[in-house]
Chains A and B, each alone.
Chain A
């Protein structure tokens, strides 16, 4: 992909970040807050209370028309066709090779399907989706007109229920409702990327600042705080959630990435099915697993992992496991190292550090209702 030389885009919440003194960084073509008070504090706020993330950089693509549901189902590995209204599904979208183009959420928005994709992949994704679209599907770019806040933490329900009432409280994990139309359209979704209970709220960009102010007003008594992308990364890493570009990409497939639960083999056809069947039959030769390091040094992406003094893989993401209390990482591991409980060595800057291999999530005390959102059969 060509990098565009244009200045990073600002989200509609930009004035609030500046007013709060956020440290802004370029991220996936957007100018985003990486931290406000500090990653440690912000991480703990989300684990114990409630925090708000601007996630407006995420990309929204709407599929409309009589073929929308069937086409969504063909694009992704999980069930995205036969869904009750308001159902949300997490799923990879694969190449014919089984390599992952992106991981995304699919919303059953009446007869439409709303896809929410990674900012870094938006242009690639929409080109792919347009290229394969049948005649009875219209692909609508809703990215610029959509703003999104994630309200996350064990106190999130109290805050969101103050704004949206019992309807929000009644949502199960990976369920959503929409209300209003035109400028007043709102989508409230019980989803997140933190391992805590939480909601993602989508509105039209011109209503964004109003949403921000209402969320903070409603959360005042819960001690609500703004949270940057730095803590978003440490929170998701402890949960073993994949970050596209680090842990998954076009050279990795959902089976080795531990996303086999998102592959619906019973679906007659989806892009990548044949390749994934072959992978399944042959068996995966590496698995994406968690690591908990025994020393204080942090393993970073790219660090080699050794088992019995032989290289068995590389770290794909690594940081401080702030709630785990140890540095944590994810790595693709092969052979006997690819088993929870195995002891490996991580080579960080020339020094060998012992680590224990773990299943994902690495952190297991989150308030999220299920670590793996499953779509209904």
Chain B
């Protein structure tokens, strides 16, 4: 199970990478493995406001559909348009090419509420 040290995580299996006042959001390697082959990712348009731990999109895998939760609140500044043509990037490259949205963070303190890699691994251990 790949859990990069540099990222922050939610218990719902999203990750963020902090870049200045923005974060990049995706789902974890564990999440993509549990979902199986991803068929369709529904994402909000740039400019959409999202609130922490509220659903902002969905992932359709062959067997199941899953909500995406915003790890932090703010405004969506970009979405990964590649996923429309190639949703399998979520499976193939969950921490890089399979990213989903960029969010301009409204309240940086929300980042501190997320799990670090060690805590997320521990959460996975309890989960499994």
Give the B-binding residues of A (Cβ under 8 A): 23, 34-35, 38-40, 230, 233-234, 296-298, 300, 319-320, 322, 327, 349
Are B58 and A320 touching (Cβ within 8 A)? no
- A349 to B88 Cα, complex, angstroms: 22
- A234 to B39 Cα, complex, angstroms: 13
Which one of B58, B63, B88, B91 contacts A319 once the chains associate, using CB atoms below 8 Å?
Answer: B63
Q: A38-B36, A38-B91, A39-B37 are in contact. Are A230 and B63 (CB under 8 A)?
A: yes
Q: Mark B27-70, 1 if CB is under 8 A from A, else 0.
A: 00000000011011010000000000000001010110100000
Give the A-binding residues of B (Cβ under 8 A): 36-37, 39-40, 42, 58, 60, 62-63, 65, 84, 88, 91
| Max chain A Cβ within 10 angstroms of own Cβ: one of B36, B58, B62, B84 | B62
Which one of A34, A322, A349 contacts B63 once the chains associate, using CB atoms below 8 Å?
Answer: A34
Are B42 and A230 touching (Cβ within 8 A)? no
- A320 to B37 Cα, complex, angstroms: 10
Are B39 and A296 touching (Cβ within 8 A)? yes
Are A300 and B62 touching (Cβ within 8 A)? no
Closest to B41 in A: A296
Are B63 and A297 touching (Cβ within 8 A)? no
The 7 closest A-B pairs by CB, nearest first: A296-B40, A39-B62, A40-B37, A298-B60, A320-B39, A38-B37, A39-B37
Contact residues in B for A38 (Cβ distance below 8 Å) = 36-37, 91
Are A298 and B39 touching (Cβ within 8 A)? yes
Which one of A39, A296, A297, A349 contacts B36 once the chains associate, using CB atoms below 8 Å?
Answer: A39
Contact residues in B for A322 (Cβ distance below 8 Å) = 62
A99 to chain B, nearest CB (A): 28
- A283 to B40 Cα, complex, angstroms: 39
5 contacts between A and B (CB under 8 A): A38-B36, A38-B91, A296-B60, A298-B39, A300-B65
- A213 to B36 Cα, complex, angstroms: 27
Contact residues in A for B39 (Cβ distance below 8 Å) = 296, 298, 320, 327
Are A349 and B62 touching (Cβ within 8 A)? no
Closest to B84 in A: A296
Q: Determine the main DSSP class of A at the interface with B.
A: mixed
In the complex, besides A34-B63, A230-B62, 14 extra interface pairs with C-beta distance below 8 angstroms are: A34-B36, A35-B36, A38-B91, A39-B37, A39-B62, A230-B36, A234-B62, A297-B42, A298-B60, A319-B62, A320-B39, A320-B60, A327-B40, A349-B65
Closest to A35 in B: B36
B8 to chain A, nearest CB (A): 27
A351 to chain B, nearest CB (A): 9
Contact residues in B for A297 (Cβ distance below 8 Å) = 40, 42, 60
Are B65 and A320 touching (Cβ within 8 A)? no
Are B40 and A298 touching (Cβ within 8 A)? yes
Closest to A43 in B: B62
Contact residues in B for A34 (Cβ distance below 8 Å) = 36, 63
Contact residues in B for A39 (Cβ distance below 8 Å) = 36-37, 62-63
Are B37 and A349 touching (Cβ within 8 A)? no
- A349 to B62 Cα, complex, angstroms: 16
Closest to A234 in B: B62
A254 to chain B, nearest CB (A): 28
Closest to B42 in A: A297
- A234 to B63 Cα, complex, angstroms: 9
Contact residues in A for B36 (Cβ distance below 8 Å) = 23, 34-35, 38-39, 230
B52 to chain A, nearest CB (A): 21
Closest to B39 in A: A320
Contact residues in B for A349 (Cβ distance below 8 Å) = 58, 65
- A296 to B86 Cα, complex, angstroms: 12
Contact residues in B for A296 (Cβ distance below 8 Å) = 39-40, 60, 84
B80 to chain A, nearest CB (A): 15
A341 to chain B, nearest CB (A): 25
Are A40 and B62 touching (Cβ within 8 A)? yes
| Max chain A Cβ within 10 angstroms of own Cβ: one of B58, B63, B88 | B63
A221 to chain B, nearest CB (A): 27
- A40 to B88 Cα, complex, angstroms: 10
Contact residues in B for A234 (Cβ distance below 8 Å) = 62
- A298 to B62 Cα, complex, angstroms: 8
